Amino acid sequence: MLTINKPYTPDYGKNRILIVDDDELVVNSFEKSLSQYDNFIIDKTTNGNQALKLIGLNDYDIVITDIVMPELDGIQLLRRIKKLKPDTEVILITAFSSYNSAIDAIHFGASDYLSKPFNPEELKISIMKTIKKRKLIREKTEKAEEMERLGYTIAHDFKSILITIKAFIKILDEEVGTEIGNEGKYILDRIKINIENMEKMVEGLLQYTRIGKINVFWENIGTSNFLEDIVNNLKPLLKEKNIKILIDDNLPDVYFYREGLKQIFYNLIDNAIKYSRDEIDSYIKIGTISEHSKGGFIQFYIEDNGIGISKDKQKAIFDIFQRDTKIKSGGYGIGLAIVKRTLETAKCDIYVESEPEKYTVFFFKLPAAKSPGGLSANRKN
C-alpha cells in the first residue's frame, strides 16, 4: 500500500510527513489522526524499501516509522535516512517488546518514540515538539552558515590586503632601508612580523571555514604509524621543551580522511607542547580508553601535565580565536576550534578535563576502521 500526495510543491507553511508501518490499519489510523490538521501533508507506505525511495525523491520534515517490519526494519530505515537526508527527523513507533530497541535508536538520531497503541494527543505533541526542534536546528544552521560565509569573505579580503601591504613594505625596505636608521629598521621589522602573524591568523580562519566544504577521501588508517609521522615532525619542539611523549602500543585503526586526522592529532599535541611547564618533567600521553570500539567509535585521549585549564574556560577553548591571553604561547586560538570542527564532520565529539597546574586530558571519539563487510573492524564480537 502506497499513498503519496503529488505533485509536491514545497509549502513553507506546512510540514510533510511520511508514515511507515507494515500494518495498513496502523498506517490508516495515523493518517486519520493527522488529517484533521491543516498544516500537515501526509504520505504513507507499508514497505520500508518503498519508504527509502520516497525519501530520496521528497524532502520530508518527519518520518514516523514502526521498528518491527519485514525486509527493512525501523532502525535500519532510521540509519539510512540519517545518511540520505540528515535533516529529516524520525519518530519511532514501538510495541512494549521492542521498547529497548526504541531507546537504542535515539542513539542513532531518532527524535522521539511512541508506544502502541498510540494516543492521538501524544502523537500531536510529539510531532509539534519535533517540528520545533527541526526549526531551531535549521535556524541555527543557517545562522552558522551565514557567519562562515562572512568569515570566509573577510579572511579572503584580508589576505589580499596583506599581500599588497607586504609588497609595499618590500619596496620601502629596498629603496630606503639603508636611510631610515636603526630605529626605522626596527619599526619596519616589527611591521613585517605583525603582518606574518596576521597572515597565519587569516590562513587559520580560511582553513576553519573550509572544513566540511570540500570533498575528502575517507579510508581505514593505521593510527600508530600515522601518529608516528606527526610526532617525528614535532620532535624539535618536544626536544626543546624537554617533553617526554608516551603512546600506547598498537593503537586501533580508524576510518577517517588523512588531512582531517592530521589536524586533530597535530593540533592537540601542539597545544600540549605550547602549554607545558618548564619547571617539571613534562609528558604527553596518547592512548584509548578501550581497545575495542563502542557503537562504531573509539574513545581516544591525549593527556599532559602542563599549566591546565580553569573550569570556567573549558568550553570556550573550542571556540575560534579563544585562548588564554595571559600565556605567551604563540598560538592564535584556532587549533582547538579546527579540531572540534573536524571531528563534527564525522559526528564525533571532544571534551576536556583539567586541573590548573596539574593535568589536562582531551577525550575524543573517532570512527573505528571498517571491515570489508562494512562493519567496524575493531568491534568486539
Any domain includes 376 = no
> Do 108 and 151 sit in the same domain of this protein?
no
Looking at the structure, tell me whether residues 235 and 354 fall in a common domain.
yes
pLDDT tens, position by position, 147-165: 667 777 777 777 788 888 8
What is the structure's pLDDT at 371? 76
Residues 223 and 206 reside in one and the same domain: no
Please indicate, yes or no, if residue 379 is contained in any of the structural domains: no
Contact partners, residue 111, CB within 8 Å, separation at least 6: 62, 89, 90, 91, 129, 130, 133
Of the listed ranges 51-55, 331-335, 365-369, the least confidently predicted one is: 331-335
pLDDT reported for residue 216:
82
Residues in the chain: 381
Q: Are residues 232 and 352 in the same domain?
A: yes
Please report whether residue 377 resides in a domain: no
Q: Are residues 347 and 224 in the same domain?
A: yes
CATH of the domain at 350: 3.30.565.10
pLDDT for 119 equals 81
Region of residue 71 (phi > 0: left; psi between -120 and 50: alpha; otherwise: beta): left
Q: Highest mean pLDDT range out of 110-119, 122-131, 367-376?
A: 122-131
The 3-state DSSP composition of the chain as helix, strand, coil percent (nearest 5) reads 50, 20, 30
Strand order in the sheet with 2-3: 2-3, 40-45, 15-20, 62-66, 89-94, 112-115
Query: The domain containing residue 90 runs over which residues?
Result: 2-118
What's 48's domain CATH number? 3.40.50.2300
246 and 358 part of one domain: yes
In the predicted model, what is the mean pLDDT of residues 182-194? Answer: 84
**160 and 241, same structural domain?**
no
- The dihedral through the CA atoms of 375, 377, 378, 381 has a sign that is positive
Q: Which of 85, 118, 151 is the last residue of a domain?
A: 118
The C-alpha atoms of residue 342 and residue 266 are separated, in whole angstroms, by 12
30 and 101 share one domain: yes
Do 224 and 363 sit in the same domain of this protein? Answer: yes
Domain boundary among 172, 191, 210: 210
Residues 350 and 225 in one domain: yes
User: Is 359 found in the same domain as 331?
Assistant: yes
Asked whether residue 146 is assigned to any structural domain, the reply reads yes
Identify whether 237 is part of a domain: yes
Cis peptide bond N-terminal to 7, omega within 30: yes
Looking at the structure of the chain, the number of domains it has is: 3
Q: What is the pTM of this model?
A: 0.56
Residue 134 located in a structural domain: no
Q: Are 334 and 320 in contact (CB under 8 A)?
A: yes
Round to whole Å and give the CA distance between 185 and 74: 71
| Together in a domain, 160 and 298 | no
The answer to whether residue 272 scores a pLDDT higher than 90 is yes
Q: Is residue 287 in a domain?
A: yes
Domain-ending residue, one of 156, 182, 210: 210
Of 89-98, 183-192, 363-372, give the lowest mean pLDDT range: 89-98
- 326 falls within a domain: yes
